[in-house]
Amino acid sequence: MNKRIISFIYRLLVIASLSTGIILNVVQTTSVSAILSYYTLQSNIICLVAFVSFVIISGINKRYQDSDIYHLIKGGITIVIAITGIVYTIALMPVGFEMDIIRINTERVSKFLSNFLVHQVSPILVILDYFIFDCKGKYKLYYPAIWLFIPLNYLNYVYTYSSKGGEFFGVGGSRKFAYFFLDYNQIGYKGVAEAIVIMILFILLISYLLILVDNKLAKPRNQKLEKG
C-alpha cells in the first residue's frame, strides 16, 4: 500500500472525526446558531471543508500538494485547530467551560464524546496529518501573518453576533461573547485588549514554531536529495 493510498484513508478518518464531532454537538444543542458561533465548531467546520476538498482534488490532480497555495492553506488550518485544542486544554477546561448547557444533563458518554472529538481528537488528527504526510520545508516566513486572519476575524464575528442579539450558553465562559477573555463586562476593556494581544503573540509563536519544526524536518530530506 503506497503513501498516497494511506494518506487518502487517513484523511477519510479525519473527515469522519470532524463530521461526527460537529454533528453530535449540533443535534444535542438547544440553539444551533449559538453552538455554531463558538470558535471550536467554526475551526472544525473549516478543517472539514478543507479536508473534503483535499480528498476531492486528489482524485483530479495528484500533484496538488506541490503548490504553495496548498501549504499556505494546510498550515493555516493546522494552526486554526491547534488553537482550539491548546486554548481549551490550558484555559477553558480548568474553569468548567461547556459549549452547551444541555450537555450538563445529557448522557455522560454522549457528552464526553461530542466534547472530546471537537476539542482534542480532531485537532490531534489534523496536526498529525501534517507530520505524517505533508512535504516539509514549504512554509514561507510571511505565512503566519496570513494565518492570523481566521482567528482575528472570529473576534469580529463574535462582537457582531452579540451586537445583533446573539447569545451563547455561558457555562464557564460568557453568555454574550462566548469566552470570558472576550467579555469586557467581566474583565474590562483593558483586560480584553490585553487578552487579544496575548492571543496574537501566542498564535504567531506557535506559527513560527511550526515553521521552525518544518524546516528542521526538511533538512534530512534535502541532504538525502543532495547525496543522491
- For 10-20, the pLDDT digits (tens) are 999 999 999 99
Other beta carbons within 10 angstroms of residue 37's beta carbon come to 20
Other beta carbons within 10 angstroms of residue 2's beta carbon come to 7
What count of Cα atoms within 13 Å lies in the side-chain half-sphere of residue 15?
14
Q: What is the model's pLDDT at position 30?
A: 82
- Per-residue pLDDT tens listing for the chain (228 residues): 688 899 999 999 999 999 999 999 998 888 899 899 999 999 999 999 999 999 999 989 888 999 999 999 999 999 999 999 999 888 777 776 777 655 555 556 677 788 889 999 999 999 999 999 999 999 999 999 999 999 999 999 999 999 999 988 866 678 888 888 899 999 999 999 999 999 999 999 999 999 999 999 997 665 554 454
The sign of the torsion formed by the CA atoms of 205, 55, 154, 115 equals: negative
- Kindly report the pTM of this predicted structure: 0.89
All three cell numbers of 34, joined, read 449559538
Beta bridge partners of 86: none
CA angle 138, 120, 70 (to 5 degrees): 20
The tens digit of pLDDT for each residue in 59-83 reads: 898 889 999 999 999 999 999 999 9
| Location of C-alpha cell 503573540 | 201
Q: What is the model's pLDDT at position 108?
A: 62
> 3-state class of 98 per DSSP?
strand
